[in-house]
């Protein structure tokens, strides 16, 4: 989840400004970049509990410790809740999950090096504080009431609102972690094609990255419980966005969708004003109950764009949102998968050919089925595994044609290796952890914190 945006306070007086804001994200192909984000669970080494914000082993102490590496503190009400450095940021999810929002970089080699540097820095400070960090999609051990809350105004508002609109929103906030990648588009038509391809194939990413099979120490019946949680979080701001596949879809149609997403807040003068459930359309007319007579700014609009949580999200770029968090190699594999599919013209055409005849019912069956069955979900006489293997083949070819090489001469397709291995074996990370749980772990999830920590 995002911190307050740094967009200007330009007043918004028309819907056209909102459309133009998104259209302004267009970039020529040589300006396309890759922004990788990932979240991870902290835990105390002595008892595996999530660290609180305060205290000698607290999250704020960790953030302050990271400033030795050149990160600049970004406080809220004099508490350090975020860090910034060279176009990247380190922020906190509601229960203290630590998120790296990476800088816009040119290649997967660059973004993977960025992730590796970040994890090395975090480990250096965490070791001193007797903390560890784990990459999975869902907190495997602790109950919702065991999770701490971070002192951020945005989260206080969301915490009160979530139970009004779904059963699992508080779990989404406190007990999930994801990895996502943010990618550019050249034009409205390019955005539309990429949006459709990535939305149709998002369940494939969910299946390949499925790694949340435990709840409160026991198997939960899902392979990606994190993905399931989104189905009962808030129907007004989640889902597969069927209108993206309708004729005439473009910037304006997406703006109309966002205008109908209920607000959470307006951030002004360092204060989060609670506008939960209120209408941005009313805001445009100066009729927002919490700020009577006030008009929105572009910063309000930028913030509001971050409060919709569909499987793919459009801001000034496209965000791929379907994957569970995981270990270092999968944090590199997620951007590789989508860059290979979307940043090469031939690959994008092939990917569109793969999905263009999917029916609405099929897209929803994929979205609804993969949280439980992942790669083994039946699809068109085969399974999601076969669909994943074809998508990986297209992605690999796209990365090879991009021809971005590291110092050893290897192209970016090398980062797909863990996904190809998983698809060929027809076994997700979640299924491997379940086998360990039922075998050498002796029915305990505690070893996951040791064996899979960064």
Residue 189 sits at the vertex; the CA angle it makes with 186 and 193, to the nearest 5 degrees, is 95
Contact yes or no for 347/340 (Cβ under 8 A)? yes
- DSSP lists the bridge partners of residue 218 as 215
Model confidence, pTM: 0.97
Residue 273, both tokens:
């004003």
Residue 53, both tokens:
């914000």
Q: What are phi and psi of 236, to 5 degrees?
A: -70, -15
Identify the helix (H) or strand (E) that includes residue 451.
helix 447-451
d(CA 419, CA 385): 11
Identify the helix (H) or strand (E) that includes residue 203.
helix 188-208
d(CA 108, CA 44): 32
Contact yes or no for 206/322 (Cβ under 8 A)? yes
Question: How far is the CA of 367 from the CAs of 71, 197, 219, 240, 406, in angstroms?
Answer: 38, 14, 21, 8, 35
d(CA 434, CA 213): 7
Question: How far is the CA of 2 from the CAs of 6, 282, 290, 309, in angstroms?
Answer: 11, 23, 22, 12
Burial of 170 (C-beta count, 10 Å sphere; 0-12/13-18/19+): buried
Contact yes or no for 334/320 (Cβ under 8 A)? yes
pLDDT in tens, the chain (454 residues): 555 556 768 899 999 999 999 999 999 999 999 999 999 999 999 999 999 999 999 999 999 999 999 999 999 999 999 999 999 999 999 999 999 999 999 999 999 999 999 999 999 999 999 999 999 999 999 999 999 999 999 999 999 999 999 999 999 999 999 999 999 999 999 999 999 999 999 999 999 999 999 999 999 999 999 999 999 999 999 999 999 999 999 999 999 999 999 999 999 988 999 999 999 999 999 999 999 999 999 999 999 999 999 999 999 999 999 999 999 999 999 999 999 999 999 999 999 999 999 999 999 999 999 999 999 999 999 999 999 999 999 999 999 999 999 999 999 999 999 999 999 999 999 999 999 999 999 999 999 999 999 9
Task: Tell me the domains of the chain and their CATH numbers.
Answer: 15-261+308-451 (3.30.590.20)
d(CA 216, CA 419): 27
Between helix 251-259 and helix 15-23 the angle, nearest 10°, is 120
Sign of CA dihedral 431, 436, 439, 441: negative
Tokens 């019912």 belong to which residue? 361
- Relative to beta strand 238-239, strand 309-310 is parallel
Q: What are phi and psi of 446, to 5 degrees?
A: -55, -40
What pLDDT, on a 0 to 100 scale, did the predictor assign at position 70? 98
Q: What are phi and psi of 153, to 5 degrees?
A: -60, -40
What pLDDT, on a 0 to 100 scale, did the predictor assign at position 9? 84
Sequence-ordered alpha helix ranges (H) in 244-327: 251-259, 280-284, 298-305
From the list 131, 215, 106, the residue with the least C-alpha distance to 168 is 215
Largest CA distance in the chain: 64
Going by the DSSP 8-state scheme, the letter that residue 264 receives in this structure is: -
CA 162 to chain centre: 19
What pLDDT, on a 0 to 100 scale, did the predictor assign at position 3? 52
Q: What are phi and psi of 238, to 5 degrees?
A: -130, 175
């Amino acid at each position: 989840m995002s911190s307050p945006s740094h967009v200007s306070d330009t007043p918004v007086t028309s819907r056209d400004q909102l459309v133009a804001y998104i259209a302004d994200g267009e970039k020529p192909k040589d300006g396309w970049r890759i922004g990788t984000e990932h979240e991870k669970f902290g835990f105390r080494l002595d008892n595996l509990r999530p660290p609180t914000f305060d205290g000698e082993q607290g999250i704020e102490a960790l953030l302050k410790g990271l400033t030795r590496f050149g990160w600049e503190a970004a406080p809220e009400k004099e508490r350090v809740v975020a860090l910034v450095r060279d176009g990247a940021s380190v922020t906190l999810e509601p229960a203290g999950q630590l998120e790296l929002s990476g800088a816009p970089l040119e290649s997967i080699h660059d973004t993977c090096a960025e992730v590796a540097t970040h994890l090395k820095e975090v480990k250096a400070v965490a070791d001193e504080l007797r903390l560890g960090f784990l990459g999975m999609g869902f907190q495997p051990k602790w109950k919702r009431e065991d999770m701490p809350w971070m002192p951020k105004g945005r989260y206080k508002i969301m915490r009160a609102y979530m139970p009004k609109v779904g059963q699992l929103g508080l779990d989404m906030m406190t007990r999930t972690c994801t990895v996502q990648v943010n990618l550019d588009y050249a034009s409205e038509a390019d955005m539309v094609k990429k949006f459709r391809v990535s939305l149709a194939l998002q369940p494939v990413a969910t299946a390949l990255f499925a790694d949340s099979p435990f709840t409160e120490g026991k198997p939960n019946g899902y392979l990606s419980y994190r993905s399931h949680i989104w189905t009962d979080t808030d129907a007004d701001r989640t889902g597969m966005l069927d209108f993206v596949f309708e004729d005439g879809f473009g910037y304006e149609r997406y703006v109309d969708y966002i205008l109908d997403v209920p607000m959470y807040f307006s951030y002004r003068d360092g204060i989060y004003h609670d506008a939960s459930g209120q209408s941005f359309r009313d805001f445009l007319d100066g009729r927002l109950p919490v700020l009577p007579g006030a008009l929105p700014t572009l910063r309000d609009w930028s913030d509001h764009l971050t409060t919709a949580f569909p499987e793919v999200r459009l801001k000034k770029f496209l965000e791929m949102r379907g994957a569970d968090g995981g270990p270092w190699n999968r944090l590199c594999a997620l951007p590789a998968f989508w860059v290979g599919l979307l940043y090469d013209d031939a690959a994008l055409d092939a990917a569109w050919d793969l999905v263009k005849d999917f029916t609405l019912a099929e897209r929803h069956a994929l979205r609804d089925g993969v949280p439980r069955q992942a790669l083994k979900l039946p699809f068109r006489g085969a399974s999601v595994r076969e669909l994943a293997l074809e998508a990986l083949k297209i992605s690999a070819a796209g990365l090879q044609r991009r021809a971005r090489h590291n110092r050893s001469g290897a192209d970016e397709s090398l980062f797909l290796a863990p996904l190809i291995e998983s698809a060929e074996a027809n076994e997700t990370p979640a299924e491997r952890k379940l086998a360990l749980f039922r075998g050498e772990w002796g029915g305990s999830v505690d070893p996951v914190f040791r064996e899979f920590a960064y």
